[in-house]
């Protein structure tokens, strides 16, 4: 941590800070410039409420030097992680497609979709049983019944399964039925849920919050890993900006940035990011081209009558064409697919 | 709801939509322009998955006409609400100051702060016992012990009390000790928590999400009210933008916008919005000047050694000066204060 | 400037940077921590292309320590500036109201507005003669003819006058007719125009760019002052965010932030910020309450038929009521008004 | 255009609007719902200051139905445009790489870069001679001398050339020396410059403004085309968001969105978008994968000593590797390259 003093900071102000730092068992390292003095803090910073130093006299700015996340940090774990999900793995050697409906609606619907996405190359079936919806009057999901359908679909197709969880109760239920749980964007900083997910034993897909910085996202992952669960996969799903032609703005630069900062796998969800089915295919290819380990795609047997997110769902035919077109991109990226 | 068709939309596309709408028991009302046709949907729209219509052929855009929140909507409840919190009320006739430490640290700390903020005119004591922190390694709060200190402080000073809750367990505990619960920005769309808060019977302070639109915020309030709890107060606390000189960007225009859209009281938190104690006082005055029903201010006996958010906390002396200076602003706004 | 090295940076990498810095005639000051090494650069940084150091081996981050703007910087000019505009002044002792139509439409319109705003307490008449419009098919202004009407209005009422300029030609014309020129948000980083405005000799109102940081804004002011024109006034007019109930998000925290960073006067334009006349009055009061030196308000004789920005314009009656209501706020802020 | 009335709008309010519309020679089309009435406006809307209708009594909202840009609109020009730039073309059949230094520094520098980028497959040489810089004290470019070096480089290598222009004077100079002019992000709504670029006769690369919506961007293109110059190419270069690990957030969804809304070619600049050379290559591939017609890449002989934007520039070796890797992506996208 670096403390930048104001120009003409009083000698007494510098001394006060030095004493505060040393009183916390750390070392202060002064660097006197022509315009300003900077103070480097050396030692175990967790012993110091560092942000408070900003309220000391003549302090201009505090500059953190090291990241607060450690277990998610590539600096301390340079090799890319591989996460086992049921019978499949997410990691650097293959391209994983998670596909399925936004919401599980009926067993027949789910089964038909499961067969279709498997045929097209998906290895993980997604399906929402607990739906966080903006309005309390929108369809909120089938809950445990939906999870049972997911289990049935798994039995019949052999696909691994993933479901979003929104509460400790949902996690307890999910553990019985599915292979991976998902923490949605609106819960990315629901720290209680993150800890519980960490204790669940299941691999966790952690979606980026609507306006989460990459640093906050990795700290959220740290919450899960710190509970003893290293099986975290990150999912970029668009961030909130002023642009309105897409529901969110897909931040694909997050993929190479994450590849530099963390060893965790990264997948991309172009369906939720854009909210428009026509944009899903070009952005899916782009995600693979810039290094994503996988994709999450919404597929529905009848988008026009879907109970949730119909506009962004692909039909079976469009999804099959997409995975066909993705095949050479996976090969260029050095990844096994289909 | 209005459906805007593309130019040169086929007659058959228009017919298909008309049939879909009428098949849902609603009426379609056509308006044929020189360039485009628009279709108005008349009737109870909850019977229709309206967003799916975007995937029909030749549809250009769907324009919602009515808000999805009803109970929070001023259109159906024109009089401003008054919310009772312990011995005090939040509403159009008075200016309510909630003040206290970001985090409850010790009983002595809390008690000294409680006396100081009461002396300066606060009527509600704030104090965090469950702290949602970006990093899992930061101080996370005293939990139930902290709530007990809040109860003690209430007994000794007569102040009403408010605490943030982050889980159903925290709500259950809070009900025993404090007068009002707070849902923080990171949990604004934690719908499980919103519903539980709605069932708690306590008045709820609902902070705006980091990048929540006003429409989403009012829908979140609707979740609470729909559980039978009309005692919701909204708290503007800054939104996320590109500007970095303040931690968030305080959106004071939200105050008059909310006054037009909802009957719920609105308070402003300049401490969390700016993250810098020096900016708290001018923005507190501005909040009162533009119509806020109250303020939430962080006050600490020793900001330099606070375990959380020291840089934005006011000392006792600065807080006393602020409430002194606020008095004529409250009078200009036609509000009782002190 | 501080260079933060990566953990385990090679000795040779550190040496390479040290040599590069010293080769530029500056001093490098090493601070070896347990995890990372930081290098402080001491001397006249303009001799070094500092950003390039990021491409050196093992460099993690570059942290600038001093601001690039000097003439606009309060550190080197602690006293607040006072800017003379025709017969009036903008500065810490009074509250200046600039009011008038978005666009000058006819001489009669402008004259009637000029009389009305003067009667209500405005001292500067605003009126657009060169209109930067999103679409090329919208009304673009009366140009020099509009400036002449402004001059006439000044003669008849004694009001000072301000007009936006969009080109060197517009500046040349403006110099002949008005007392102050305005650089609009879309031209805040039109550096050619800034330099020409600096050479014009007229005081300049510099609006904040649509997504300009405060640092960029002050650097833009620096362009004007560096040409020998210290008479710059800053105008906060809302920034671009995801919120859509207002046209932009008025960033009132910019007022106290600017008061800390610069000596230049700051005024606030709630009309352009919100785009809605109903929100102008509460935000105007808030602006004064948080320390603004003045306001820019759109007033129109017939908003429903205005050629530009009718929705955000106040009628004469509403404007008169606003200035009446502002009077005690000005007094509380210690400013002379009316 | 659609006017949405408030619930319980008075009959007289509806009549007033109807009369205003019909008084402008247009037709009003009423649609009376159970909750609200909507009024469709039919006819040539340019005859009506439509936004003013919001200030009429009982109006809730105005919803525009048609875009204001016509010449840039794919609805009226379905075939993708092909733009000739010196000896090369930008369009749907090939992948165009523009490469070169951020700023032209010396003739030797430019020549060595020109040879290197040509050898690697670039067909257009970029190089800034007029540099818009945040601070007035940063290097501002060689101006006309820089343009002459560009002309020399063209003669020697046969590459087409592009230069940013920042003023009418720069356009006049550029016409003499280069094949294409560029309007930078900070000037995207410098409408005077857009018009002059439209009259220059040269093809124009129009970068997206720092926080420009796609709609505003296409309206800016309309300014150029409306002057009789249809040779406009759009360049996505990142937008401003809260994320700080990249300088801007590259909005790749803009590529498929633009492909749906306009016939103009679209290129992507990953160098300025990210500001970090390491992220250029993955995002360049992503841009091609999602349908971009070309790329703009910064290349420098010695990034560590570049006078501008060194951190984001590729070395010759890295650039050659990138174009090598891009080749199969171009083939997959059905584009000719190298």
Note the pLDDT tens digit of each residue in C320-330: 999 999 999 99
Q: Where are the alpha helices (DSSP H) in A8-162?
A: 11-23, 107-119, 144-157
Is residue A47's pLDDT more than 60?
Answer: no
State which H helix or E strand residue A196 sits in: helix A191-200
Q: Which of B289, A230, D252 is nearest to C270 (CA)?
A: B289
* Cβ neighbours of B252 in C, within 8 Å: 250, 252, 283, 286
Most B CBs within 10 Å, among A54, A136, A249, A303, to test the B interface: A136
Antiparallel, parallel or unpaired: β A83-85 and A88-90: antiparallel
Contact A264, A232 (CB under 8 A): yes
Chain-chain contact of D63 with B66 (C-beta, under 8 angstroms): no
Which residues in chain D (26-45) have CB-CB distances under 8 A to chain C?
none
Over residues D96-117, the mean pLDDT reads: 96
Q: Which of D171, D272, D280 is nearest to D229 (CA)?
A: D171
Over residues A301-314, the mean pLDDT reads: 83
- pLDDT in the model for residue D72: 96
Q: How close, in Å, is residue D303 to chain C by CA atoms?
A: 7
Is residue B94's pLDDT more than 80?
Answer: yes
Q: Which of C133, C136, C166, C131 is nearest to D225 (CA)?
A: C136
Share of residues in chain A with pLDDT > 70 (%): 96
**In angstroms, rounded to a whole number, what is the distance separating the alpha carbons of residues A234 and A182?**
10
**In angstroms, rounded to a whole number, what is the distance separating the alpha carbons of residues C119 and C134?**
33
CA-to-CA dists, residue D233 to A184, B317, C119, D50, D266, angstroms:
38, 60, 51, 30, 6
Residue D42 pLDDT level (bands cut at 50, 70, 90)? confident
Q: How close, in Å, is residue B269 to chain A by CA atoms?
A: 19
| Nearest-CB residue to D306 (from C49, C137, C190) | C49
Chain-chain contact of C136 with D226 (C-beta, under 8 angstroms): yes
Share of residues in chain C with pLDDT > 70 (%): 96
**Same fold across A2-63 and A74-332:** no
Residue B322 pLDDT level (bands cut at 50, 70, 90)? very high
Q: Which of B333, B198, B190, B193 is nearest to B259 (CA)?
A: B333
Q: Out of A1-10, A87-96, B103-112, B252-261, which region has the weakest mean confidence (pLDDT)?
A: A1-10
- pLDDT in the model for residue B50: 63
Tell me whether residue B320 is exposed, middle or buried, using C-beta atoms within 10 angstroms of its C-beta: 0 to 12, 13 to 18, 19 or more.
Answer: middle
| Nearest-CB residue to A246 (from D257, D286, D288) | D257
Fold of D2-63: Alpha-Beta Plaits (3.30.70)
Q: Under DSSP, is residue C154 helix (H, G, I), strand (E, B) or coil?
A: helix
CA-to-CA dists, residue A81 to A258, A267, A335, D244, angstroms:
13, 13, 15, 25
- pLDDT in the model for residue B56: 83
**In angstroms, rounded to a whole number, what is the distance separating the alpha carbons of residues D199 and D171?**
10
Q: Out of B154-168, C3-17, C89-103, which region has the weakest mean confidence (pLDDT)?
A: C3-17
A109 shares contact with chain B (CB less than 8 Å)? no
Residue A45 pLDDT level (bands cut at 50, 70, 90)? low
- pLDDT in the model for residue D66: 77
**In angstroms, rounded to a whole number, what is the distance separating the alpha carbons of residues D157 and D173?**
21
Is residue C267's pLDDT more than 90?
Answer: yes
Q: Which residues contact C81 (CB under 8 A, 6 or more apart)?
A: C91, C230, C231, C263, C264, C265
Tell me whether residue C112 is exposed, middle or buried, using C-beta atoms within 10 angstroms of its C-beta: 0 to 12, 13 to 18, 19 or more.
Answer: middle
Q: Out of A307-321, C229-243, D85-99, which region has the weakest mean confidence (pLDDT)?
A: A307-321
Contact C275, C247 (CB under 8 A): yes
Q: Which of B125, B75, B119 is nearest to B96 (CA)?
A: B125
- pLDDT in the model for residue C326: 98
Residue A28 pLDDT level (bands cut at 50, 70, 90)? confident
Contact B144, B165 (CB under 8 A): no
Q: Under DSSP, is residue B41 helix (H, G, I), strand (E, B) or coil?
A: strand
- pLDDT in the model for residue D309: 75
Is residue B51's pLDDT more than 80?
Answer: no
Average pLDDT, chain C: 92
Residue D20 pLDDT level (bands cut at 50, 70, 90)? confident
| Nearest-CB residue to B289 (from C213, C242, C285) | C285
Please name every residue paired with B85 in a beta bridge, in sequence order, or none if there are none: B88
For B74-332, the fitting CATH number among 3.20.20.70, 3.40.50.1820, 3.40.50.620, 3.30.420.40 is 3.20.20.70
- pLDDT in the model for residue C48: 62
| Nearest-CB residue to D253 (from A214, A274, A288) | A274
| CA atoms in the 13 A half-sphere facing the CB of D152 | 15
CA-to-CA dists, residue C215 to A220, B276, D140, D226, angstroms:
30, 17, 19, 36
Chain-chain contact of C253 with B279 (C-beta, under 8 angstroms): yes
Token pair in block for residue C159? 């009001």
Chain-chain contact of C191 with D132 (C-beta, under 8 angstroms): yes
Torsion of CA A291, A296, A300, A305, to 10 degrees: -110
Instruction: Give, rounded to a whole angstrom, the gap between the first and last alpha carbons of chain B.
Output: 48
Contact B149, B142 (CB under 8 A): yes
C181-218: string of b/e by CB count within 10 Å (b at 16+)?
Answer: bbbbbbbbbbbbbbbbbbebebbbbbbbbbbbbbbbbb
Over residues B176-200, the mean pLDDT reads: 97
Strands of the sheet with A2-5, listed across from one edge: A27-32, A37-42, A2-5, A59-63
Give per-residue pLDDT as tens, A165-224: 999 999 999 999 999 999 999 999 999 999 999 999 999 999 999 999 999 999 999 999
State which H helix or E strand residue D89 sits in: strand D88-90
- pLDDT in the model for residue B58: 87
**In angstroms, rounded to a whole number, what is the distance separating the alpha carbons of residues A179 and A181?**
7
Q: Where are the alpha helices (DSSP H) in D206-253?
A: 214-225
Residue C46 pLDDT level (bands cut at 50, 70, 90)? low
Contact B63, D63 (CB under 8 A): yes
The nearest alpha carbon in chain C to A65 belongs to C4
Is residue A310's pLDDT more than 60?
Answer: yes
Give per-residue pLDDT as tens, D145-177: 999 999 999 999 999 999 999 999 999 999 999
Q: Out of A152-166, A324-338, D12-26, D77-91, which region has the weakest mean confidence (pLDDT)?
A: D12-26
Of the two residues C264 and C134, the one the predictor is more confident about is C264
Residue A46 pLDDT level (bands cut at 50, 70, 90)? low
Check residue D247 and report its DSSP letter.
S
Tokens 């009637």 found at: C112
- pLDDT in the model for residue B45: 62
Chain-chain contact of C282 with B288 (C-beta, under 8 angstroms): no
Q: Which residues contact B229 (CB under 8 A, 6 or more apart)?
A: B197, B198, B199, B200, B201, B202, B203, B204
Is residue C130's pLDDT more than 60?
Answer: yes
Instruction: Transcribe B164-208 into DSSP letters.
Output: EE-SHHHHHHHHHH-SEEEE-GGGTT-HHHHHHHHHS-S-EEEEP
Give per-residue pLDDT as tens, B240-286: 999 999 999 999 999 999 999 999 999 999 999 999 999 999 999 99
Q: How close, in Å, is residue C212 to chain B by CA atoms?
A: 8
Tokens 């409430």 found at: B323
Q: Under DSSP, is residue C266 helix (H, G, I), strand (E, B) or coil?
A: strand
The neighbour count for residue C105, using CB atoms within 10 Å, is 24
Q: Which of C244, C206, C253 is nearest to C225 (CA)?
A: C206
Q: Where are the alpha helices (DSSP H) in chain C?
A: 11-23, 107-120, 144-157, 168-177, 191-199, 214-225, 254-261, 270-274, 277-289, 316-332
Task: Give the phi and the psi of residue C228 in degrees, each rounded to 5.
Answer: 95, 10
Token pair in block for residue A137? 């009057």
Chain-chain contact of A249 with D245 (C-beta, under 8 angstroms): no
**In angstroms, rounded to a whole number, what is the distance separating the alpha carbons of residues B310 and A55?**
7
| Domain extent listing, chain C | 2-63, 74-332
CA-to-CA dists, residue C327 to C122, C284, C306, C333, D167, angstroms:
12, 12, 28, 10, 44
Q: Out of C18-22, D68-72, D192-196, which region has the weakest mean confidence (pLDDT)?
A: C18-22
The neighbour count for residue C47, using CB atoms within 10 Å, is 11
CA-to-CA dists, residue C172 to C141, C201, C205, angstroms:
17, 11, 16
Residue C209 pLDDT level (bands cut at 50, 70, 90)? very high
Which residues in chain B (54-93) have CB-CB distances under 8 A to chain C?
none
- pLDDT in the model for residue D144: 94
3-state helix, strand, coil split of chain D in percent (to 5) is 40, 20, 40
Contact C245, C251 (CB under 8 A): no
């Amino acid at each position: 941590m670096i403390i930048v003093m104001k120009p003409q900071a009083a000698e007494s102000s510098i001394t006060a800070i030095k004493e505060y730092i040393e009183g916390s068992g750390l070392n202060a390292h002064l660097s006197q410039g022509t315009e300003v003095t900077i103070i480097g803090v050396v030692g175990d910073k967790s012993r110091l409420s560092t942000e408070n130093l900003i309220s000391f006299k003549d302090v201009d700015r505090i500059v953190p030097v090291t990241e607060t996340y450690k277990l998610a940090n590539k600096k301390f774990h340079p090799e890319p992680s591989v996460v086992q999900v049921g019978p499949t793995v997410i990691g650097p050697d293959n391209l994983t497609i998670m596909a399925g409906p936004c919401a599980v609606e009926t067993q027949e619907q789910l089964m038909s979709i499961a067969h279709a996405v498997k045929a097209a190359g998906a290895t993980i079936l997604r399906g929402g049983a607990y739906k966080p919806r903006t309005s309390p009057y929108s369809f909120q999901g089938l809950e445990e019944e939906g999870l049972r359908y997911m289990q049935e679909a798994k039995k019949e197709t052999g696909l691994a399964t993933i479901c979003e969880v929104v509460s400790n109760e949902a996690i307890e239920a999910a553990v019985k039925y599915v292979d991976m749980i998902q923490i949605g964007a609106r819960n990315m900083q629901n720290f209680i849920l993150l800890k519980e997910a960490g204790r669940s034993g299941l691999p966790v897909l952690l979606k980026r919050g609507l306006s989460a910085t990459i640093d906050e996202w990795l700290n959220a992952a740290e919450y899960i890993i710190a509970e003893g669960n290293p099986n975290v996969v990150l999912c970029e799903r668009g961030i909130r900006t002023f642009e309105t032609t897409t529901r969110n703005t897909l931040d694909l630069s997050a993929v190479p940035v994450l590849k530099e900062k963390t060893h965790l796998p990264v997948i991309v969800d172009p369906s939720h990011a854009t909210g428009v089915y026509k944009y899903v295919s070009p952005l899916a290819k782009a995600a693979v081209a810039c290094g994503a380990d996988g994709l999450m795609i919404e597929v529905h047997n009848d988008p026009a009558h879907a109970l949730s997110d119909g506009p962004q769902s692909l039909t079976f035919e469009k999804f099959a064409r997409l995975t066909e077109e993705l095949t050479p991109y996976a090969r260029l990226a050095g990844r096994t697919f289909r």
